[in-house]
Chain A
Amino acid sequence: MAAPLGLHLEFGGGAELLFDGVKNHHVTLPDQSNPWDMKQLLAWIRGNMLKERPELFMQGDTVRPGILVLINDADWELMGELDYQLQDKDNVVFISTLHGG
C-alpha cells in the first residue's frame, strides 16, 4: 500500500498564524513503505509547512499542550493519538486554545 495519501489539514484558534495565516490546506504525502501515522505527519508538517516558531506548535514529537487535535471530527485521544494510521482523504484539525476567551 504505497499510494500517495491526500489529506485535508485545518488550523484554527490562532494556530493558522504559524502557517501564513492560511486555515485550510490540501496536502499530498509522498509514498513510503509503511503506512503514515500521526507522529510522522507532525514531523512532515514541521519540515514542510511550519513557517515560523515551531516551538509554538510542537513540543518534542507531538503537538504542544493546549493545541487540540481532531481526526475526522473526533477527539484524537479516542483515535490513538500519535499512533493513528492515516487514511486517504482524512480530515485533521489543529485548534489552539492558548490565548483565547
Chain B
Amino acid sequence: MCQVEEDYNGLECNQEKIPVSGLNRKCMKCKEGTAVLIIRVSDAFCRSCFKEYFIHKFRAMLGKNRVIFPQEKVLLAVSGGAASCTMLSQVQEGLSRDAPKKLRFMPGIVYIDDGGACGRSEDERQTSISQLKNIFTQTGFPYFIVPLEKVFSLPTSVLVPGTSDPDPSNPCYKQAVDKYLKEKQKLREEEAVCAVAQLNLEDSAYLPEHKLALQRLFSSLKTLSAKQEMLQTLRQHLILHVARENSYSKVMMGESCSRLAVKLLSNIALGRGAALASDTGFSDPRFGDVVIVRPMRDYSSKEITFYNRMFHVPSVFIPGLDTKSHDKASIQRLTESFVTNLQADFPSTVSTIYRTSEKLHTVRPPQSQSTEPEPASKCLLCLCALDTTADKASAFHATLISEQLSQLRLQEGSVDLVAGSSDQCCVEDQTCGTSGCCSSKRTPVQQDLKTLLCYSCRLTVKDMAAVNTLPPYILTEAEKRQRRSQMKVEISEYLLEEDQD
C-alpha cells in the first residue's frame, strides 16, 4: 500500500541536472499521460499521477509517524502562504474521503496576523483577513484569527512547558482507535463546543496601546535577522496559547522541505545548532502538552506550488518582514538565496540537507528524555533545552569569553560601569574585590535575561536597543525565574556553611 512512497522517496538523486528534451514527454509512472511537471531530478509526472502521489504522501507521512490520535483536536497554523494552505487542503481531502485510510482527527485553524510588526496598514491587514476568512469558512472548520498585538496580554504560563500525556506510542494508539469507535457519538458534541470557541475568539480587535507597544518592540530590534527570530518566537507563543485555551493537543505547521533546509542552515548560522532536531523534525515535543508536527516536510516548494496551481488550492500572499528585501538583508534571506541558487545547479541540494537533518535526529537523544522538564532548564523564549552548559570548545563559550574580555576593558576605562552583571565578573577564580558587584542588589533585566536564554536567543536579545519593550509575560516570567535562582544560590550557600560545621 505504500508502493508510491517507496517509489519516490527512496530515490537517490545524486547526479547533476539532466537536460530534458522533447515536448511530449510521457509520465514516468503511468507511461501514458503527458507529463506536466518534473520533480526531483528528472521524474516527469502527468497531472493525475502527480495528484495521487501528492495526496498519498500526506497520509503516508501521518500514518508512518502515528502521532495523531483519532478524535484528537489538531490546530492547523495557516499563514496564508502556499505550503500551509496546501496542508489545509490535504486535511480537508483526508477527512472528506470515505476510504478506509480516512483521517480521523478534529481540525481547527489559527492565523496570526503579524501585519503590525511588518508595518502594514489597517486596511491592508483587513483585506488579507477577509480573504483568509473566505478560505477558512469554506472548510467548515473552527478558526481563530489572532493579531500579533495580543502577545501583550499573554499570561506567563505560555513560557512554562506543560506536562505531556502518557507516551503516545503504538499500544496507546491502538487503544485510542478503539476508544474512537466507541465515542463516535461524542464527536458531534465536541464540534458544537468548537463552534462556541470560534465565536469568542473571532474578535480580532486589539488595543491601540498594544499596537504601539508592538511597534516599539520591533523598532527596538536592530537587525532584520533579530526581527525575524523575534517574530517567529512570539508567533509560536500565541499559537501555543490558542492551542492550550481550546484544548488542542497538536499543532500542524506547514513548513516544506525547501523551507526546512533553509531554516536548518540559517539556524546553524544563528547559533541554534543545539535545537536543530526539534526545530526541523517531524514532531517537536518541547512544549510538553502541545506537540508541533510538520506534515509538509517531505514536499518541495515546487511540488506545493504546482499542486496549488493545478488543483486550485486558494492561498493569500501576505507581505512579511523580508518581502522585497535584499539578498543580504538577513541571515535567513542570505541562506535562502544560497540554497535556491545551489539547488538550481545541483538539484539534490535540498534533499541532501534535508537528509542530513534526519541523521542529526538519530544521533541526538530526543529532548523528552532529559529528566524533569523544569522550566529553568529550558530557554525562556524558545523553550528549547538550554545549551549554554556546553563544553568550553563551543561557540557559546567563545562568545562569552570575548564578551567578558570586552567588559573587562570597559571596566578599566571607567569605574562607573562596574555595577554590571554579577554573574560574569566572578566566574571561576576571578575575584571582584571591593567593587561591590557581588552584593545581592538587583541588576537590570537586560543583564539578567541572558542567563535564562539559549545561545541563539541571547544573540537576538543582544540586538535589542531596549529589552523592556518585550511583552510583560516575558519580563514577568524572567523576574520570577531570576528570583528563584537567586534564592537557590542563597539556600545552597547556607547549606554549605551548615555542612562545614
Contact = CB atoms under 8 A, between A and B. Distances in A.
Nearest to A100: B81
B324 A78 contact: no
Interface in A1-35: 12-14, 16-18
A65 B343 contact: yes
A70 B310 CA distance: 11
A53 B255 contact: no
Contacts of B23: 78-80
A65 B301 CA distance: 12
A98 B256 CA distance: 12
B412 to A, nearest CB: 46
Contacts of B84: 101
Given A14-B323, A17-B324, A78-B38, A97 B301 contact: yes
B317 A12 contact: yes
Interface string B10-26: 00000000001101010
B432 interface: no
Contact of A101 (B35, B38, B255): B255
Contacts of B306: 68, 70, 75
B284 to A, nearest CB: 16
Contacts of A43: none
Contacts of A80: 21, 23
Contact of A95 (B305, B323, B337): B305
Contact of B301 (A18, A53, A75, A100): A100
Interface in A42-101: 53, 55-56, 59, 64-66, 68, 70, 73-75, 77-80, 93, 95, 97-101
Given A66-B340, A78-B20, A78-B35, A73 B323 contact: no
B356 interface: no
A99 B228 CA distance: 12
A18 to B, nearest CB: 8
A97 B20 contact: no
B259 interface: yes
A100 B309 contact: no
Contacts of A95: 305, 309
Contact of B36 (A18, A56, A75, A101): A75
A64 to B, nearest CB: 8
A37 to B, nearest CB: 14
Contacts of A64: 340
Contacts of A100: 81-83, 256, 259, 301, 304-305
B340 A65 contact: yes
A98 B327 CA distance: 11
Nearest to B327: A55
A48 B317 CA distance: 25
A53 B259 contact: no
B471 interface: no
B317 A75 contact: no
A80 B322 CA distance: 33
Given A66-B340, A78-B23, A78-B25, A13 B35 contact: no
B460 interface: no
A68 B255 contact: no
23 contacts: A18-B324, A59-B341, A66-B337, A66-B340, A68-B305, A68-B306, A70-B306, A75-B36, A77-B38, A78-B20, A78-B36, A97-B304, A98-B340, A99-B322, A100-B82, A100-B83, A100-B301, A101-B79, A101-B81, A101-B83, A101-B84, A101-B256, A101-B259
Interface of A: 12-14, 16-18, 53, 55-56, 59, 64-66, 68, 70, 73-75, 77-80, 93, 95, 97-101
Interface of B: 20-21, 23, 25, 35-38, 44, 79, 81-84, 254-256, 258-259, 301-302, 304-306, 309-310, 317, 319-320, 322-324, 327, 336-337, 340-341, 343-344
The 4 A-B residue pairs with the shortest CB-CB distance, nearest first, are A65-B344, A75-B37, A97-B301, A66-B340
